[in-house]
Every structure is written in structure tokens, then in C-alpha cells.
Amino acid sequence: MAATIEDLAQAVFDGDSRKAKKLSQKLLDAGEAPLDIINQGLMGGMSEVGVQFKAGTMFVPDVMAAAEAMSAGVELVKPLIAHEDIQSLGTVYMCTVKADLHDIGKNLVIMMLEGAGFNVINGGVDVAPEKIVEDVKELHPDIIGMSALLTTTMLHMKDTIELLKEEGLRDQVKVIIGGAPVSQDFADEIAADGYSPDAVSAADLAKSLVGAA
């Protein structure tokens, strides 16, 4: 039986890496366009996982397994696409703010952003505003995503935005924030461009900020 793009999306949805890889190869062999395999098959499956996660019917390990299955396929197919054809929605720089070591949420957001088609730079944890600004100058991300789990450290989000202003960089980059103590009110207060309560919404938010939603 011939493999279909839908089967591939299902394999990603099921978090089945081996099957995702096998079906990606079969689809390539059958002459399916590599871009379609990625966008509709691999990312299509991931996007359904996002929907279910948001609805509370899928959970963190489901998301991780699906992300892994997606990567297994992408790895295989991506080298076959001419560099200029690889679509990226943009570059997101993700980090956990200064004095904060919590990275589970941040890493989930990274997975969802990659699944949505962004190029993501992982800045790590305990990243000072000065370092973020330095990285923005060097790496030119379209979006900065900051995470904080403590009410004490979330204030560094504000410091970062102020430093970006001082350095004249604020207009060049969008800033989105998240984490347990963070809220839309706080985002408004510090003039961030967006807030999201979970990893899937973060990817949707990033998409809307680059005009892709």
C-alpha cells in the first residue's frame, strides 16, 4: 500500500520516530515533493499535537515524542531541499532570564516553535539583559522569547526591554514573554509585544508577530 502524506502526519502525531522516518523515505521514493513532506506531513502532524495539547487531551511527553518523530523525518528530507527553498518563518532567540535556572517551559516553547517552522536559537538559562542585547546585535533574531519562573526574576524582562530601548534595538525585534508568574497584564506593563500561557500558544503568538498566522 502506498504511503500518504496523511499517514506521515499520523506517525508524527503518534510520536513514532521509526515510522515517521520510514514513511518520509517512502514518500520521497514515490516522488513526493520534499517541501510538501515537511510542511504537510511532518509539520502537519505536529500542528495537530499542538491543538490537542492546548485542549488538554495530549501531554508534555506526547509533545516531546511527536517533536522527535518530526525531527527524524526533517533530518532525512531537509538535505534534499535547495537552501533558498527552505522556508523559515523567522528566527526566535529563546532564553530564561538572569538568576533563573528553570528551563522546562522554555525548552517546550523551543520545540513548538521549531515545529511551527521557526529557526530557534537557544540562549540558555540565567541570561543577563546585557548578554541578550549582545546576542541580538550579533544574531539579529526577529523575536526574543524570555522565560521566568520566579516573581523576583521576571523583573529582568523589564530590564531587558529597557536596555534594548537604550541601545536603539527595540524597533528591530519583537519581545514575547512567558512563565508561571507572568501574565498579560505584566506584558502590557513592561511593553512586551506579547505573552502566552503555554508552549503551543507561544508558537501561535510568534506566528502572528511575523504575520504568518
Partner 1 sequence: MIIIGEKINGFVPKTLEAIRAHDDEYIKYIAKAQADAGATYIDVCAGVEPEIEHETMKWLMDLVQEVTDTPLCIDSPDPQVVVDMIPYANEVGCLNSISLEGNKCDVILPAIAGTEWKVVALTCDDDGIPDDPKVKYEIAKKIMAKVDEYGVDHDNILFDPLVTTLGTNQQSFLNFIEAVELIKADFPDVHFTSGLSNISYGLPYRKAINMQFLSLAMAKGMDSAIMDPTSRDMLAAMFATDALLGNDSYCKNYLKGFRNNLFGPKKD
Residues binding partner 1 (CB under 8 A): 59-61, 64, 99, 101-104, 107-108, 124-126, 149-153, 155, 180-181
CA 210/CA 134 separation, integer angstroms? 22
The answer to whether the beta carbons of residues 145 and 194 sit under 8 Å apart is no
Q: Which DSSP letter does residue 70 get?
A: H
Nearer to partner 1, 118 or 186 (CB): 186
Nearer to partner 1, 87 or 152 (CB): 152
Minimal distance, residue 211 CB to partner 1, in Å: 31
Nearer to partner 1, 59 or 165 (CB): 59
Sign of CA dihedral 109, 114, 119, 125: positive
Nearer to partner 1, 66 or 108 (CB): 108
Minimal distance, residue 185 CB to partner 1, in Å: 12
Minimal distance, residue 61 CB to partner 1, in Å: 5
For Cα atoms 133, 136, 141, give the angle at the middle one, nearest 5 degrees: 150
Q: Taking phi first (over 0 means left), then psi (-120 to 50 degrees means alpha), and beta for anything else, what does residue 56 get?
A: left
Minimal distance, residue 89 CB to partner 1, in Å: 24
Tell me whether strands 174-178 and 119-127 are parallel, antiparallel or unpaired: unpaired
Minimal distance, residue 212 CB to partner 1, in Å: 27
Please list the alpha-helical segments (H only) found in the chain: 5-13, 17-29, 34-36, 43-55, 60-77, 104-116, 129-139, 155-166, 184-189, 199-209
